[in-house]
Structure 1
Amino acid sequence: MSTAAAVDAWLAVLAEQRRQSPHTVANYRRDLQRLCELAGDTELGRLQTHHIRRFVAQLHARGLSGRSLARLLSSWRGFFAWLGNDDVVWANPCEGVRAPKSPRHLLNALAVDETSRLLQAEEAEDDIFAVRDTAMFELFYSSGLRLAELAALDCDALDTARHDGEIRVVGKRAKARLVPVGRQACAALVAWAAVRDTLAAAGEPALFVGRLGRRLGHRAIQLRLAERAVRQGLPQHVHPHMLRHSFASHVLQSSGDLRAVQEMLGHASIASTQVYTHLDFQHLAKVYDAAHPRAKAK
């Protein structure tokens, strides 16, 4: 099997068997194309650990961060593991190779009062687009959804939110989960349901639609949220994932239940959720600095 054929076959496995999203498959393709460029005339089956270490060092010297290199290694490692199952390679050359560490950046989350200001009713709340936006952003914060999860919601999710206080979302790798929906988000969704049909095109299943009556795209949602944050006087740029971070941080501060936050966010590993413990500690540190007599600046 040629290198190009092997790459295409592996990407097909990711898309069809492992049900990875098109965006993820495209990332894998770029990662493997970079591996082929670095390998040059060397066949992939002949690559050894010292080759991979050299590739990582070269990319790091070009400015790639440790996080980006870790993702590359993960892509390459999975590809070689699959080749090994078919006896194309005898050993995985990526095993034991680690990316250099990068400084850990804390996630940006809104304070509770900032979130309340963002979600409070606007003067033009009778406008159909304002009603839609309020429903979207209340649901974002109430349930900690990813942008792709919210954009993919269909109308059949409305009944779930209205009657049970839960909504069914499909996350990464097509994994479905039930997430809670708060009282204010339910009320906003009911208000949007009452006017949605005046905007939606015939037969359109999407819960949130744009001016043309079709499913609202990711970029449009990002722009509407950023514009609303400016109108509401928030000092920083607000993006959809910031509402997800805020949801997780605020729930964790109130409950301390990391496992529950993991389930609601749809994280496969608790390690992905533990970053919010750092946010929680940052909040506590600010309170300490402001209140403790020994911490106050002279």
Structure 2
Amino acid sequence: MKLLECFCDITNQPLSFLKLSSSELTHIVAGFQGALFEQDLVGTSDVTRAKISVYLQDILLEARNYVPSMPPTECGSGLRKKYNTKWKKILLGVDQRKVNYWTGWPVENRKGTKLYYHFANIHNSHGHDFTSGLYEQLRLHISGYGTTQLTMPNKMAGFLSRNSDSWPEYTFNDSTMIYNFFWDFRESFFMSGEAQGLDIDAQMKTWNKYIGFVEKIFILPGVWAEPLGGKLPLAPAKRIDGQSTNVRKNDDGAEVKVKLVMEVPLHLTDV
């Protein structure tokens, strides 16, 4: 049960196979049952929370067939109310860092709406200090922005965690690495958008808006390194169709066509 795992984690009561034979199991189960009385732990209906309570009781009864030394556990419909006071005491000492891990890192946007960054993935791959630093900088500035600056950091966090071997924590302290990271993230962003059939011009606008946001709150204050060339990679402001449009010479003197977010040399053809 994922919810029981969450409860054990935020209350610093790790549950292991050995504890199934310990009196600690009794205290853990009682506290969890009490947490299901109201919506402190999970914001579902009373009916759903009651089903979870019964489900746990059934699991423990089945587990006793495999672990006869388990301490006795109670059954019945009144357990949630009976142990709610116990949960209220536990609630005062929950680990807030772990609460954020399970629920998301809370921020308020310019409309005063509470939203959440989903950074559990980078918390696992890049550690608490990096995640906390990223979150705090975003939290301080997000109040002046809309939903784009919530969804894009979530996408960036997902990309970063999936590619943590290529882009470790110190990526953002190195001018070349930070530029290359955003170059690769840009490619992933647009390829994902294309696969979903999203409007490319809208995607370009979203990307450029996000890059401006990143430069304003991370690069200019010196939180992250200044990227190679002084700017993070942008996308063209707008796509223009046609064979003769957006043709220019690059630094090597070759004519290239700017198409989407990549420069395509005109001498290259499909084979």
TM-score normalised over the length of structure 2: 0.29
User: Looking at both structures, which has the greater relative contact order when contacts are Cα pairs under 8 Å and sequence separation is at least 6?
Assistant: 1
The structure with the largest helix share of the pair is 1
The structure with the largest strand share of the pair is 2
TM-score normalised over the length of structure 1: 0.27
Q: Which has the larger radius of gyration?
A: 2
